[in-house]
Structure 1
């Protein structure tokens, strides 16, 4: 059952879609579970069971051209900036296994006190500003913390972190109406890579207690990561680990504000914060759309999708599928989600940074809620990000009431 663009439309570059993709997803799930957009050259899967099967089928649905629909990001070069996320096995497995030796759950656990300190620093500054009225939660907190955490993890000196954060912002920034990667973003990417190259060279000479050194020292049976592979992973952290966590923190604040009955118990019991984070990941996930390339032939819904075609997996839609969740359009903190969550993918490419993202969100929101007894979002002046694959806010102005 496929329906062409004339009847149902999915355009990941459309601003109306960015403002609220969920009515579009519902039509896709009901009317075109396998959707084809010949103009933009992709197929799309929107139902929970199909998206999950797509994530788990890493043989027929290949990552080797990257996971973005944007033309400049797709292609055999994608792994230079997206590391093993833009690879298939055996290369993917080799690289991921080596990286995992440095990027361990223990390293993340040991980072938590430092994440708390960073959160406190940015929150103190934000609360001071908030005292005189409205404050931009993204600019002052949600947009600062995740990149600083990555810099802390990698060993970027504190005096360089503002500059690194500005470069990372430049990599991700898109002006309205720009569907491909602009020249400024390419320049910011090159500057970031040059900075990291110098850092890798420095750690080769003088190891330190950080992730960069751990990656350089990671070894399995004599096999080690090359400098370029270390750089690719560092860049992946900036793209995949920074922006998505910023969006998660802002989405949590926005939907918490829109559902005060769900948030009220959180103020009294901070142990409910992880439940709030999980429901945010389900209800309005940062990572909405991921591209795959058909390798061989794929048969779905009585249709053969040809070798080499692009298939979009839509976790944003999967999470609102009433076939998988009861009352999926209601924001319910504490609902049963479990293994049905697809924000971090599934299968061979399950996100290596999932535990880091959850820890950051938990720490950040707990520190926020120890300081405030309420907040109001200025919806009229909030600004959504325009992106073909992530969803969240560029600006989220709010007023806060201190405890």
Structure 2
């Protein structure tokens, strides 16, 4: 019989945040539908198996996004904060179509030369240092890219980055502190001013594209455009930075796999890390009507948590899932979602990660070390990653 070190799941438990994968294994094997009345404000049910997570992600009729994707910010007014990701079809479909008109694959691919230039500029500042913080380095790239995409002036970008980071901070209980709430309001005010400016003075940027987006008579309101900008500037930045930090850390932990990355398997390095240690650990849904799962009735109105990071370690889907292997098939990973809520920014996140790692691998010898005792992890029930990852260059 398998012995499990932890048998109760609480996403704000420090032990779970330090290493959630043992409790995920326990849930998958023993309690595929789990209920904890202490999660959030009113308790939550939890799904952890690959088949259940992917099915529920796509089943918007039974599992609604109307209260937002995070348990700590669950609210009937969630759409004002996070825009179309807190809507269900058909409203979500119409809104997503409008956003997609400004966020096309071609527009994303055209960003690559600019991303490479941004990376090289920041890389020059750390490549010859004996010790440097990978997170501080990686943190500058996605926010600069998003700011460039939106048309945020250079003079404002450092402050936008600071506010974005602060807005995602959580206290020990996983709650949103006053400083984070104030930062979010400041960001909303800034982006509202940017939208207003683009209505008067259009430019060659995504802010203008969002303002001008129309489809079959529909258009984005100013509030919807601001919500999209907040989503890109906060969640998009945070998830990409945490992905990059996890990639860098796992490369250090698995030197035999790191050698493959230095030989050219950069894309596989990113994809296997997305599977093995995803920055997005969970997302929330509201049960729209009574549903029976594993012989138990989950009442309408209940909070349901989906654990894509657990699904990515499910041995029913991935053979030997606790092994980090750049040669495995990761095409089934769930890190960017399923169905109508598949992440619109997935291609941009992958592009940013690939370019940053390609440039970094060219500049930094593969024998780098990480001062693990000094490293710091993010306190968050939703995201997994580092806030500080001290890296030691091997030749220094």
TM-score (norm 2): 0.96
Flag structure 1 segments of 5+ consecutive residues without an equivalent.
1-6
Matched, 1:346 2:348: no
Runs of 4+ in 1 over 2 A off after TM superposition: none
Contact kept in structure 2, 1:83 and 1:232, CA below 8 Å: yes
- Secondary structure of the equivalent of 2:126? helix
Alignment partner of 1:368 is 2:364: no
The structure 2 residue matched to 1:158, chosen from 154, 160, 164, is: 154
Residue in structure 1 matched with residue 35 of structure 2 by the alignment:
36
Q: Does the CA contact (< 8 Å) of 1:371 and 1:402 recur in 2?
A: no
CA–CA distance in structure 1, aligned partners of residues 58 and 225 of structure 2:
26
**How far off is 1:402 after superposition?**
6.5
Match of 2:3 in 1: none
- Match of residue 196 from structure 1: 191
CA distance in 1, matches of 2:13, 2:339: 30
* Whole-Å separation in 1 of the counterparts to 2:148 and 2:393: 28
User: 1:342, 1:17 → 2: CA distance?
Assistant: 20
User: In structure 1, what is the equivalent of residue 275 of structure 2?
Assistant: 282
How far is 1:10 from its partner?
0.6
CA distance in 1, matches of 2:56, 2:233: 25
- Alignment of structure 1 residues 8-157 onto 2, 5 Å: 8-40=7-39, 41-70=43-72, 73-128=73-128, 130=129, 133-139=130-136, 141-157=137-153
CA deviation digits over 1:61-85, x for unaligned, max 9?
A: 0000111111xx1112111111111
Q: CA contact under 8 A between 2:164 and 2:184: conserved in structure 1?
A: yes
**Cα deviations by residue, 1:349-391 (Å, 9 ceiling, x for unpaired):** 0000000000000000000001012211111111111101110
- In 2, Cα distance between the equivalents of 1:57 and 1:190? 32
Q: C-alpha distance in 2, partners of 1:58/1:222? A: 25
Residue 169 of structure 1 corresponds to 165
The 2-side partners of 1:332 and 1:63 are apart by 34
Q: Which residue of 1 aligns with 2:213?
A: 218
- Which deviations, in whole Å up to 9, do the C-alpha atoms of 1:234-266 show, x marking residues without a partner? 011123211000000000000011000011122
Q: Distance in 2 between matches of 1:56 and 1:200?
A: 32
Superposition pairs for residues 305-316 of structure 1, below 5 Å?
305-316=298-309
* Aligned residue in 1 for 2:349: 357
Q: CA deviation at 1:401?
A: 3.8
* Alpha-carbon offset, residue 58 of structure 1: 1.3
Whole-angstrom CA distance in 1 between matches of 2:327 and 2:107: 28
2:246 counterpart residue number: 251
Q: Where do 1:253-268 residues align within 5 Å?
A: 253-268=248-263
User: Aligned to 1:65, what secondary structure does the other structure show?
Assistant: coil
Does residue 299 in structure 1 map to residue 292 in structure 2? yes
Cα distance in 1, alignment partners of residues 245 and 283 from structure 2:
21
Q: Aligned match of 1:182 in 172, 177, 184?
A: 177
CA distance in 2, matches of 1:378, 1:116: 27
TM-score of the two chains, using structure 1 as the length reference: 0.94
Moved more, 207-216 or 260-269: 260-269
Structure 2, gaps ≥5 residues long = 1-5
Query: Distance in 1 between the 2:371 and 2:67 partners?
Result: 40
> What is the distance in 1 between the residues matched to 2:174 and 2:21?
21
Q: Label 1:213 to 1:21 Cα distance change in 2 as closer, same or farther (>3 A).
A: same
Specify the alignment match of 1:3 in structure 2.
Answer: none
Structure 2 residue matching 1:35: 3-state secondary structure = strand
Q: Where does residue 4 of structure 1 map in the other structure?
A: none
Query: Aligned-pair RMSD on alpha carbons?
Result: 1.3
Distance 2:252 2:133 in 1: 15
1:372, 1:402 within 8 Å by CA — same for their partners in 2?
no
| 1:148 Cα offset (Å) | 1.1
Per-residue displacement from partner, 1:172-210 (whole Å, max 9, x unpaired)?
1234x1421111011111111111111111111111100
Tell me which residue corresponds to 1:237.
232
Contact in 2 for aligned 1:45/1:314 (Cα 8 Å): yes
